[in-house]
Amino acid sequence: MTGSLEGQRSALEQGALALGLSPDAAQIDRLLAYGALILKWNKVYNLTALRDPAAVLTHHLLDSLAVVGPLMRERPGAGRLLDVGAGAGLPGVVIAILRPDIEVHCLDAV
């Protein structure tokens, strides 16, 4: 994503903490890289209406992180999850990054 990488990292970490999550540095790196990929490929495939890196951070990554909290209460290795209508892979990819013990599949019509 464009903009200050440290600013994005800080915003993502603070947002995750506000949601009761504490992703490690590698997970934060993966989330930021995923956000950058959404922006890159959005130009070709129109994955989302959002074009601003800050909006991708708040409206996609942090919104997707909101569903991880309830999943954290599940036991490790809780099974499989199907994200139907995943579009750009949200929230499935974000869940997979934060919960590697869950087998996540994303499905979309396109």
Strand partners for 103: 80
CA pair distance 54, 85, nearest whole angstrom:
23
Residue 73: its pLDDT value, please? Answer: 76
The radius of gyration computed from the CA coordinates of the chain, to the nearest angstrom, equals 13
**So where are the chain's domains?**
5-107
Other C-beta atoms closer than 10 Å to the C-beta of 68 total: 19
CB-based contacts of 2, cutoff 8 Å, min separation 6: 39, 53
- The pLDDT score that the predictor gives to residue 2 is 47
The pLDDT tens digits for 22-73 are 999 999 999 999 999 888 877 777 667 566 777 778 778 999 999 998 887 7
Tokens of 94: 């974000």
- In degrees and rounded to multiples of 5, residue 51 shows phi and psi of -120, -15
Do 30 and 97 contact (CB within 8 A), yes or no?
yes
Architecture of the domain delimited by 5-107: 3-Layer(aba) Sandwich (3.40)
Average pLDDT, the chain: 86
pTM, rounded to two decimals? 0.86
